[in-house]
Copies of this chain bind each other. A is one copy, B any other.
């Protein structure tokens, strides 16, 4: 409601560290939406640096779409970045927001953890899609952000394009959250949905999902519930102010579920879904659960869903696409806008 037309647009200089699907999705979206974001939110977003394993590219006035396309296409780094490392980019190139989009590592959190620590120490706001650092060192990171008076935002880590953290913190502000229960992994949901519909065994559907790119060649993180557990930890720490890590979650995956079990459940009016469950009494569990067919939690295919139980608003459920580079970029973009605009 604040008048965005007053004064000239605020320049927001962005670096992207990690240039896989999500990182390039963010670059694409920021480019494409430049004018719309300027008009609607008064923000002049420019990508001033990108770092990846293959090198670094920098342009302090903002990289052009051509420069970014060339960097994406080329095997080596760009001359302008020289031998700079990602940490040097974060520390030495003047910018406002560092987008951390390297792959999740739940054992060490690296290299994301070092990137985020460096960025906050250097006075950058951080928006990340990387679950590892938050699942391992949530409190340390938030305290550093607070001390440095910077924002650390991570909507993309849980539920992809499905707004969940911001929905709870802002739209349901004033509510006490009692529990959050949901399907936070699209790969598992796809496999269970298809097993149930076609009466097919787990291995068959998994192979199929791998062929069409819904499951990874090593699917263990998804099907064993690890990915869901990590997301649950982020929710636990953010919403319930816990100091949990991934090791605190009781985890069971979907690898033992049979078509027979799914059929039995269906005959009784239930679906079996891999549900992550966290509540204000410290429960942190990932396990296959019976969900009544008519329940808002019973969504199909690769969709994600979460039901937030609150004291005032009752149950609020949100459903959306949990994965995909543009979907993750949507969450990153909303986080960046949220830093600057008191919307």
Residues of A within 8 A of B (CB): 1, 3, 29, 33, 36-37, 41, 142, 145-146, 149, 151-153, 155, 161-163, 166-167, 169-176, 294, 296, 299-300, 303, 310, 312-321, 324, 326-327, 329-331, 333-334, 336-338, 341-343
Q: Chain A binding site: helix, strand, loop or mixed by DSSP?
A: mixed
Taking the closest CB of chain B, its distance from the CB of A31, in whole angstroms, is 13
10 closest pairs, A vs B, by CB?
A: A163-B171, A161-B313, A174-B333, A312-B330, A342-B342, A317-B319, A313-B330, A173-B337, A316-B320, A166-B171
CB neighbours of A174 from chain B (8 A): 29, 33, 37, 330, 333-334, 336-337
Asked if residues A334 and B172 are in contact (CB atoms below 8 Å), the reply is: yes
Determine whether the beta carbon of B310 is less than 8 Å from that of A153: no
Query: Across the interface, do A316 and B173 meet the contact criterion of CB distance under 8 Å?
Result: no
Q: How far is the CB of A156 from chain B (nearest CB, A)?
A: 11
Residues of B within 8 A of A151 (CB): 1
User: With the chains together, A3 CA to B143 CA distance in Å?
Assistant: 10
**Neighbouring B residues of A37 by C-beta, 8 Å:** 174
Nearest residue in B to A296 (C-beta to C-beta)? B319
Q: Is there an interface contact between B170 and A166, defined as CB atoms closer than 8 Å?
A: yes
Closest residue of B by beta carbon distance from A125: B1
Once the chains bind, are A330 and B175 in contact (CB under 8 Å)? yes
A323 to chain B, nearest CB (A): 11
Chain B residues with Cβ below 8 Å from A175 are 330, 334
